[in-house]
Amino acid sequence: MKTLNNLISLNDLSQKHSTWIIKYCSATFGSPLFLVWYTDTHENRTDRLLTYKNGKIFATKSLSALKTTLLSEINHLVVFDNLTPWLANFKDNEVVEYCTYDFNSVISNLDKNNLDIPTMEGLAGFINLYGDYVQQDKRNTHLRVHIENEFIKETWNYFYNNIF
């Protein structure tokens, strides 16, 4: 794993600041997007996606330009407590994603009725990520209908009760 300033790995930095880079793949977008997912420092420690002040999710197509993009848009973002110290430790080192949500693969496998463990895990992970976004802002309550869908709930419960 690459280290930042030869002192701390990106994983260690992310753990320290409860802030991670995730790669999101979807047919909706021509190429992968990179998002910032974090756990806030408030009492309830809510998991969130970095968003703009208007509620839209921050995303970039360039992992290598992530820090530059974040800094150029910082005045338009909902800045959380750990964002600045997390960014300050990036320096000029190569940045890698923590994990990948490959919704293309999930959809392809579901279309083939392939319900193997990686497919179910990918679907459950996406449901969790989507749920984090829905719950982080009152403006997103209209999206709750999707995570409250009986089929989605049943699938999620099956994964966590029988596979995970």
DSSP assignment string, 35-56: EEEEE-SSTT--EEE-BBTTSP
Q: Rounded distance, CA 72 to CA 83, Å?
A: 14
- CA 10 from chain centre, in angstroms, equals 16
What pLDDT is recorded for position 8? 63
Count of domains in the chain?
1
Mean pLDDT of 102-125: 94
What pLDDT is recorded for position 136? 93
Contact criterion met (CB below 8 Å) for 37 and 47: yes
Contact criterion met (CB below 8 Å) for 38 and 26: no
6 pLDDT higher than 50: no
Quick one: CA dihedral 148, 21, 56, 80, positive or negative?
positive
Contact criterion met (CB below 8 Å) for 45 and 39: yes
85 pLDDT higher than 70: yes
Q: What is the pLDDT of residues 31-73, one digit of tens each?
A: 999 999 999 888 778 899 999 999 999 999 999 899 999 999 9
**Predicted model pTM:** 0.88
Regarding predicted confidence, which is higher, 9 or 126? Answer: 126
Contact criterion met (CB below 8 Å) for 72 and 54: no
Residue 155 belongs to what domain range?
3-163
What pLDDT is recorded for position 11? 79
Q: How many CB atoms lie within 10 A of CB 123?
A: 20
